[in-house]
Amino acid sequence: MSSFLQLCQYTCRECRVAGGESALTAVTSQTGELQRIVSWVASSWTEIQDRYPDWRWMRAGFTVNTVSGDDQYAGTDCTDIITSAAIDRFGRWLIDNLDDPPKIYLSSAGVGTEGWLSYSDWDDFKSLYKIGTQNNTYPAHISVDPQNNLRLGPKPDAVYVVSGDYQRSAQILAANADIPEMPTQFHMLIVYEAMKRYGLHESAQEILMAGNAGADRLLPQLEFNQLPAIRMAGPLV
């Protein structure tokens, strides 16, 4: 497990910065070369997270208690199951998986009555629930509107507990003790990516080559470990 500060120190060592790892004692209040090292490590981590939209470590569960008569819920209305706090790094909803759809139950009836919600794309959802007069009742469908709000149809007539999955947005490294959320055995990939930036900036071909070699070795392992498995498509007819 490596902290932001340690990753910056490893980068100093691998890039042969004067003083090596001991040259950097904090990620804040740096200038010149050390400030660039800190910036390159932080941006490398952000770029790795943004490389694919479905890294497993960025997936999390959510839950939300509905309000009677309200069919619209933003990410900030929902609770991250892992942190037990309101979602503050929302990326996108993961509610269209036929193998693991969102769930719902009437709060007063208890989780033992839990069932599934059917996903509907927004255009179909509008044609079903955004026309004429609708009666509030037990929601059967879930969708996402153009503003990235969860939408339930029909509108709930009581308090229901809805749960499912969402993808977090990128974690931003800022403090010494911040730890990248991806599996620890791949943390050196961040250093290798930062080395590539250093090598390009300093025209240091040996550093650039070392960074490329390390990244070329570690990135495929991360992809294999953290991307969804390839599945055979279903029948066309």
More confidently predicted of 21 and 170: 170
pLDDT score, position 237:
52
Statement to judge: residues 216 and 204 lie in one domain? yes
pLDDT for residue 204:
95
pLDDT of residue 232: 52
Q: Which residue has the higher pLDDT, 196 or 1?
A: 196
As a whole number, mean pLDDT of residues 201-221 equals: 96
Look up the domain containing 89 and give its range: 57-168
Q: What is the pLDDT of residue 235?
A: 54
36 and 106 part of one domain: no
Domain count, the chain: 2
Q: Is 151 inside any structural domain?
A: yes
**Same structural domain, 46 and 62:** no
Polymer length in residues for the chain: 237
Residue 200 in this model has a pLDDT that exceeds 70 = yes
User: Which long-range CB contacts under 8 A does 217-225 form with residues at least 24 apart?
Assistant: 218/186, 218/188, 218/189, 218/192, 219/189, 221/186, 222/48, 222/182, 222/183, 222/186, 222/189, 223/52, 225/56, 225/183, 225/186
In-domain check, residue 19: yes
- To the nearest whole percent, how much of the chain has pLDDT over 70? 97
Mind listing the pLDDT tens digit for each residue in 69-127?
A: 999 999 999 999 999 999 999 999 999 988 899 999 999 999 999 999 999 999 999 99
What predicted TM-score, i.e. pTM, was given to this entire model? Answer: 0.89
Q: Quick check: is 116 in a domain? A: yes
